[in-house]
Amino acid sequence: MAEIMTLIGGRSSKQGTTLCASKLGAAYAEISSTLEMNVEDMARLGLSNNSKVRLRTPAGEAILRCKGRETKDLPPGILFMTYGPLSSQLMAGDTAGSGMPISKNLDVEVEPVRDENGP
């Protein structure tokens, strides 16, 4: 069952240091496929750290692995991920006459991805 949440894209220092080395390496791929999520939301959706979730917007979809954050750090309903190839998949190309695509605070459908073997 999908829920609508707000996805914030951003930068992290770990991403910054990693991209200096290579954007094609495994470290960068891992960082840019990690989704920070409120722990209560995760519990409700039956997710635990490293569970796969599918994010979907009208532009596209991406599958990430989630990582829990306490409510004081990340309020319920808010998601965070670093910019990268996966966040690109979710962004619409319309810039509304500004040149800037919306890349923060996207409404995304969040859906746990069940492994074939079941949870």
Partner 1 sequence: MGENLKVVRDATCTFCGCVCDDMHLTVDLDQKRIMKAENACILGKAWFREHGIEERPLALIGGRTATTEEAVEAAAQILAQARFPLIYGLSDTTCEAQRVAVAIADMIGGTVDTTTSVCHGPSGIAFEGVGESTASLGEIKNRADLVVFWGGNPAEAHPRLFSRYAVTPKGMFIPNGRKDRTVVLVDVRRTPSTPAADIFIQVKPRSDFEVLWALRALVKGRKVDPSIERRTGVSLAVLEDLVARMKSCRFGVFLFGMGLTMNRGRHFNSGALLALATDLNEFTHWVAKPVRGHGNVTGADNVVSWQTGFPFGVNFSRGYPRFNPGEFTSVDLLTRREADAALIIASDPADNFPKAAIEHLRRIPVITLDPKATPTTQLAQVAFTTATYGINVSGTVYRMDDVPITLRPAFESPYPSDEQVLTAIRDRVRALLGGNRLPAGAPVAAAS
What is the binding site for partner 1 (CB under 8 A)?
6, 8-13, 16-18, 20-24, 59-60, 72-75, 78, 80, 83-85, 87-105
Q: CB-wise, 46 or 85, nearer to partner 1?
A: 85
Q: Please, which residue, 2 or 77, has the CB nearer to partner 1? A: 77
Task: Provide the minimum distance between the beta carbon of 34 and partner 1 in the complex, in angstroms, as a whole number.
Answer: 14
Nearer residue to partner 1 within complex by CB, 25 or 46: 25
Q: Please, what is the minimum distance in Å from the beta carbon of residue 36 to partner 1?
A: 9
Of residues 58 and 118, the one with the C-beta less far from partner 1: 58
- Would you tell me how many other CB atoms lie within 10 Å of the CB of residue 28? 20
CB of 48 to partner 1, least distance (A): 21
The one-letter amino acid code at 54 reads: R
Least distance (Å) between residue 38 CB and partner 1: 10
Long-range CB contact pairs, 83-87, < 8 A, 24+: 83/9, 83/10, 83/11, 83/15, 83/32, 84/15, 84/28, 84/31, 84/32, 84/33, 85/29, 85/32, 86/32, 86/33, 86/62, 87/9, 87/32, 87/62
**How far is it, in rounded angstroms, from Cα 48 to Cα 106?**
23
